[in-house]
Structure 1
Amino acid sequence: MRLFDKTPGTWSRVAVALAAAVVVGAVAAPLSTADPKPEGSQAAAGGAPDRLLATPEVPRVSDGSYSGFQFCGIPDSPPQVTTDRPSLAATLESVAPPGSVEPPEDAARSGRKVVFEVTEADGRPVLTENTRTEASHTAVYQIPEAKLSSGDYRWRVRVQDGPAISQWTAWCDFSVRLAD
């Protein structure tokens, strides 16, 4: 088929192809000029300046694996759980800017290191747990049995991927109310 063939339907196919090219260009142009450093991202401490590791977001607490999560940071309404084994979770963001290439040694590393820190409301340490997550967007930790009793606590989390380390999340206050 020649581009300027005069058979019926040829011009409509050419018009559709041109319109599609214009739409793709209009969508791609803003993306190609977007800032590769998302707002709120911190340069990794001790890492290369082109490696970013955003602070985990949306900290939340749950009574357990099959319960819904309560979000942290709601004024005058901290999460409340009825178990001594609550689950803590946060959303992880991208480790490197779009288009960057990870060094070959990164391929051998298994997941990201995630550090959960739990204290009593007054700051007395309860536990610090280093875990690994294979999940690309979520870190979850269930507190072991008998570590918490009824009372007020707070927790925070940060993530490390190779030399890149995020900032800690804000403290997430929560209460444990166990049945007597």
Structure 2
Amino acid sequence: MRVRKTSPKRPGRAVFALVAACAIGAVAAPFAIAGASSQPTVTAAADDGPNDLLLPTPEAPRISNGPYAGFQLCGSPAGDPVVTSGTPTLAATLEAVAPPGTVESAEPGPRRKVLFEVDTAAGAPVTHKQLTSDTSHDAAYQLPEGTLTDGAYRWRVRVKDGATESAWTAWCSFTVELR
């Protein structure tokens, strides 16, 4: 009589695929949660736009001491951002790649008009600037030297695309403490 040696069964490809998918999900979930905006996404009807199209409000408003400094998110539980530069950079993510029902141009170059509004904490206008974003995803504006002094301010942003425009973001309060 012959005895056959058998090895224990190995897990199949499906088991490996399931384990890999769970591992990827466990790694990606914290990043997705961290990247989520704490502000609700709001859409505003276009002013007399064709077919009353909607354009999403820019998300994740943030501020930094300059173009190469790290950003502080607006609305953070840690409190209002504090900048130590007279030329901070204001930035937002433009989730509005194209309004519903339109086709975005494949041509490279400027796509959206972005309006930045900076006021004192009391609501007195400091500067209002309209720029054209070079991408469909982000917009940034570095305030010119001498625009801000020590004190409390607030800013907000919105995007325009042709006849459509988004709602303003919520005000982002921040403090300037020049050294």
Structure-1-length-normalised TM-score: 0.70
Give the structure 1 partner of residue 44 of structure 2: 42
1:159 corresponds to which residue? 159
Q: How does 1:55-134 map to 2 (within 5 A)?
A: 55-75=57-77, 77-94=79-96, 95-97=98-100, 100-101=102-103, 110-134=110-134
Shift of 1:109: 8.9
- For residue 174 of structure 2, give the secondary structure of its aligned residue in structure 1: strand
Give the match for residue 139 of structure 2: 139
State the Cα RMSD in Å. Answer: 2.3
Q: CA deviation at 1:157?
A: 0.5
- Measure, in 2, the Cα distance between the counterparts of 1:110 and 1:91: 15
Cα distance in 2 for residues equivalent to 1:109 and 1:163: 19
Alpha-carbon spacing, 1:138–1:108, altered in 2? closer, same or farther (3 Å):
closer
Amino acid at match of 2:71: F
Q: Which amino acid aligns with 1:51?
A: L
Aligned to 1:150: 150
2:31 paired residue number = none
Aligned to 2:7: none
- 1:123 partner amino acid: G
1:22 maps to what in 2? none
In structure 2, list runs of 5 or more residues that go unmatched: 1-40
Q: Distance in 1 between matches of 2:109 and 2:68?
A: 30
Between the two proteins, the alignment pairs up a number of residues equal to 138
Same amino acid, percent of matched pairs = 52
Q: CA deviation at 1:84?
A: 0.4
Unmatched segments (≥5 aa) in structure 1:
1-38
TM-score (norm 2): 0.70
2:56 maps to 1:54: yes
